[in-house]
A = this chain, B = another copy of it.
Amino acid sequence: MSEPRYQRRKQDRPQEITAAAFDAFAENGYAATRVEEVARRAGVSKGLMYLYFKTKEELFKAVVKSVVVRRVDALIDTVEGTEMSSEAFIRGPVLDFMKRIPDSPVAVVIRLLISEGQRYPDLVDYYYENVVSRGLAAITRLVERGVERGEFKPSAVTDLPHLFVAPVVLSVIWRILFSKNSFDTDRFMETQINLILTQIKT
């Protein structure tokens, strides 16, 4: 009947724990989440958590690092590999990717970084280097490729990939804070992309 209350599952534990911690942090934030609560959600004892993560801080860092990275890499790879026109690529995969972010774990991580980042500068650095910097570089590359191919004309947009990202950031923050006053973030992003492309298309 009852589950064995004692199971050896060394392989899966770290992920189970970070997953549980992710949920807990997402709901209550880092400071307000008790280690015991994470353990409970992971179906594990408090002590076991400390076998895998030396401190609550380390658990936090593991949680943050466990999210995102793969997704960015995937997108970056596609940029180079695709046969699509730059515009089609932006209106297609890039926009899709952007639209998914506000509902993805990324939004949670952004919230956590904003809340706790000041105390974990190395974590912020990690994120800047692995996600932000590479993401922006990918967009820049995409625009440059459009220029090289004669699809786009040179413009300020080339050094301001932030223009593409701005509506995503606003949408994420909006989702975090004002989910009950939602607005159509998809259309918002589409409109911004339109603005940009209209401007730079040859």
Instruction: Write the residues of chain A forming the contact surface with B, with a CB cutoff of 8 angstroms.
Output: 27-29, 31-32, 110-111, 113-119, 124, 127-128, 132-133, 156-157, 160, 162-163, 165-167, 169-170, 173, 176-178, 181, 183, 187-188, 191-192, 195-196, 198-199
Contacts and interface: CB of A to CB of B under 8 A. Distances in A.
17 contacts: A29-B118, A29-B119, A31-B31, A110-B173, A111-B114, A113-B177, A114-B114, A124-B178, A156-B187, A156-B191, A162-B170, A162-B188, A163-B167, A163-B191, A169-B170, A195-B199, A198-B199
Contacts of A115: 29, 111, 114-116
Given A162-B188, A192-B163, A178 B114 contact: no
Contacts of A27: 118
Nearest to A178: B128
Q: How many copies does the complex hold?
A: 4
B178 A29 contact: no
B160 A188 contact: yes
B163 A195 contact: yes
B132 A178 contact: yes
Q: Which 10 A-B pairs have the closest CB atoms?
A: A115-B115, A31-B31, A166-B166, A166-B170, A169-B170, A114-B114, A195-B195, A166-B167, A156-B191, A117-B177
Contacts of A124: 177-178
A119 B32 CA distance: 10
A145 to B, nearest CB: 20
B181 A128 contact: yes
Main secondary structure of the interface of A (DSSP, over half): helix
Nearest to A176: B114
Contacts of A163: 167, 188, 191-192, 195
Contacts of A118: 27-29
Contacts of A181: 128, 133
Contact of A191 (B160, B183, B187, B198): B160
A156 B118 CA distance: 38
